[in-house]
Amino acid sequence: MDPITQLIIMAPPLLLALTLHEYAHGYIAYRLGDPTAYNAGRLTLNPISHLDLIGTIAFFFIKFGWAKPVPVNPNYFRNPRKDMLWVALAGPVTNLLLAVASAILLKTLLVVVPAPLYTTALQMILVPLYNMLVASVWINLVLCIFNFLPIPPLDGGRILTGLLPEDMARTYASFERYGFVVVLILAFTGVLGTVIFPIIKFANNLLLA
């Protein structure tokens, strides 16, 4: 695909994936008693509220990115460590469900409207839709697997913090201030892609087989 076509195809599933990822964090936090995201106007399905400019641009250049994190205040939780684990888990699990749903919808469309039945009008609608669903599977797997990395402040880091003994969790969480820098260095040196892309490719092939 040329860059413009790629942008048109990838933009809708990327916006949906990022928006629902962050909304899921905010919704679970809200259900567990934290109104921070709601009060900040982040408990919304408006993608503009969740977009991070650098994270969105990065997706098109290094093939993974991020949204603006939803604010969460664990002081509102009854059990801050346990509840924060569920909040962190909500984002990548949502992306996994979106990837599965996209793959199921794609396969369903291929059965319901096979290629021999295409007319010119149908082709103009279905071919972009098929491409968007294929992109949706890949994008959501990228966001799911990337965010499961056990590096604070990624969701995987917060999930691990909730599983570790309290003393170890406190020490591990203290590295969060350096985590984003570590992620960027790993990303731009290609180390991160070398680690996660084989997993993403395997999952993608499994869903689209």
pLDDT at 63 (0 to 100):
63
pLDDT at 201 (0 to 100):
96
- Decide if pLDDT at 64 tops 70: no
- Confidence band for 184, pLDDT divided at 50, 70 and 90: confident
Selecting among 22, 34, 83, 155, the annotated active-site residue is 22
pLDDT at 36 (0 to 100):
96
- Decide if pLDDT at 203 tops 90: yes
Altogether, the residues listed in the chain come to a count of 209
- What number is the average pLDDT over the span 71-76? 94
- Decide if pLDDT at 110 tops 70: yes
DSSP letter for each residue of the chain: --HHHHHHHHHHHHHHHHHHHHHHHHHHHHHTT--HHHHTT-SSS-GGGT--HHHHHHHHHHS----PPPP--GGGSSSHHHHHHHHHHHHHHHHHHHHHHHHHHHHHHHHHS-GGG--HHHHHHHHHHHHHHHHHHHHHHHHHHHHTSS-TTSHHHHHHHHHS-HHHHHHHHTTHHHHHHHHHHHHHTTHHHHHHHHHHHHHHHHHH-
For residue range 118-177, list pLDDT tens digits in order.
Answer: 677 777 888 889 999 999 999 999 999 999 999 988 999 999 999 999 889 889 888 888
| Annotated catalytic residue 22 | yes
Domain ranges in the chain?
3-208
